[in-house]
């Protein structure tokens, strides 16, 4: 269905009239309010983005970095256990061997505590499986140390200790090292993914903020230009009427119909011009009547003078 041209023009005039009827204060403050809304929105989004980034960073620290540190501690204690087991073979006396083996047992307790610390951060199915494997392998390694390597160390059987360690201990240590490294790799991979997510969120928030800023500036500038242009146009019409009045021209009118301050001024000025034109018309009519009466008096005076001369 096609809307008639007159109806479209009437609708456009109605919308324009509605805005034109707003006060000058309302128009100016509308521009300021729009700019304030845009600024507040961008600022709020920025604060939300900062809060989200802080939460993501906390989650990254708690879930991944602490896990990586705990896994590194487990790996370091395993290395200390291996060194302590070897040192038990190298000390000079059986008493020192016993003391060294006691230190190894304490290190195994530290190993279990570090592994519990790692597990306290929360484990998914994959990590739980790896941790269970580490615990089982460590139990086998501890049994091997106590039942095989410790007696050989106490007997100072270097050849037998080396052979047993190479054949039975080395595979267990290799399995432990591989599993612990896998845990560390998982934590670092998730940390890298979390960091990438933080970067992606930042870029999305930055793009949204830039779009809102550009749109807000454009809207604010457009509304400001529209308000300033309308006020300038109304002011010019009023100025045209007053300039015409200064030259004695009473035919110029502003034609303003809005109900804002400038529109009311223009309408009052138009009414004053109409009233002044009526007054001037009355004055001109009275002057014409006086002139006609003066001519009649002049004629009567001439007749009286002529009659006087005849007399």
Give the best-scoring range by mean pLDDT among 1-10, 111-120, 269-278: 111-120
Instruction: Examine the pLDDT at 95 and tell me if it is beyond 60.
Output: yes
Instruction: Examine the pLDDT at 310 and tell me if it is beyond 80.
Output: no
More confident: 46 or 140: 140
Instruction: Examine the pLDDT at 14 and tell me if it is beyond 80.
Output: no
The predicted-structure confidence for 40-68, as pLDDT tens digits, reads as follows: 777 776 667 666 665 555 554 455 567 67
Q: Which of 36-50, 132-146, 248-262 has the lowest mean pLDDT?
A: 36-50
Instruction: Examine the pLDDT at 112 and tell me if it is beyond 50.
Output: yes
Instruction: Examine the pLDDT at 228 and tell me if it is beyond 60.
Output: yes
Q: 103 and 141 in contact (C-beta within 8 Å)? A: no
CA distance 254 to 234: 8
pLDDT at 12: 47
Domains and CATH numbers, the chain: 38-218 (1.20.120.1730)
What are the distances in angstroms from CA 253 to CA 91, 109, 267? 116, 101, 9
pLDDT at 186: 82
The candidate with the shortest Cα–Cα distance to 153, out of 68, 96, 214, is 96
Output the pTM of the full model: 0.55
CA distance 245 to 299: 39
The CB density around residue 220, as the number of other CB atoms within 10 Å, is 20
The Cα angle at residue 185 between residues 181 and 189, in degrees rounded to 5: 175
pLDDT at 289: 72
pLDDT at 18: 67
More confident: 5 or 231: 231
CA distance 33 to 26: 10
Q: Percent of the chain scored above 70 by pLDDT?
A: 84
Cα dihedral sign for 129, 130, 131, 135? Answer: positive
Q: What is the mean pLDDT of residues 197-221?
A: 78
């Amino acid at each position: 269905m096609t809307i008639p041209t007159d109806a479209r023009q009437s609708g456009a005039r109605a919308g324009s009239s509605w805005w034109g009827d707003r006060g000058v204060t309302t128009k100016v403050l509308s521009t300021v309010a729009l700019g304030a809304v845009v600024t507040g929105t961008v600022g709020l989004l920025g604060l939300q983005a900062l809060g989200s980034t802080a939460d993501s960073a906390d989650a990254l620290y708690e879930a991944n970095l602490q896990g990586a540190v705990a896994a590194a501690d487990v790996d370091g204690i395993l290395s200390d256990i291996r060194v302590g087991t070897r040192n038990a073979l190298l000390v000079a006396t059986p008493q020192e061997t016993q003391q060294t083996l006691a230190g190894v047992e304490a290190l195994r307790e530290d190993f279990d505590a570090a592994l519990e610390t790692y597990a306290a951060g929360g484990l998914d199915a994959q990590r739980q499986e790896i941790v269970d494997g580490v615990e089982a392998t460590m139990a086998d390694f501890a049994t091997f140390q106590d039942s095989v390597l410790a007696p050989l160390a106490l007997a100072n059987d270097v050849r037998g200790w080396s052979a047993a360690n190479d054949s039975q201990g080395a595979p267990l240590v290799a399995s432990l090292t591989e599993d612990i490294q896998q845990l560390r790799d998982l934590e670092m991979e998730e940390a890298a993914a979390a960091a990438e997510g933080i970067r992606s969120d930042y870029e999305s928030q930055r793009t949204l903020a830039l779009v809102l800023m550009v749109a807000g500036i454009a809207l604010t500038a457009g509304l400001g230009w529209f308000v300033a242009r309308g006020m300038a146009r109304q002011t010019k019409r009023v100025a045209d009427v007053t300039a015409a009045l200064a030259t004695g021209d009473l035919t110029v009118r502003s034609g303003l119909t809005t109900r804002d301050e400038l529109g009311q001024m223009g309408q009052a000025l138009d009414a004053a011009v109409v009233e002044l034109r009526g007054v001037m018309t009355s004055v001109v009519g009275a002057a014409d009547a006086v002139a006609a009466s003066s001519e009649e008096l002049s004629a009567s005076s001439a007749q009286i003078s002529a009659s006087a001369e005849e007399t």
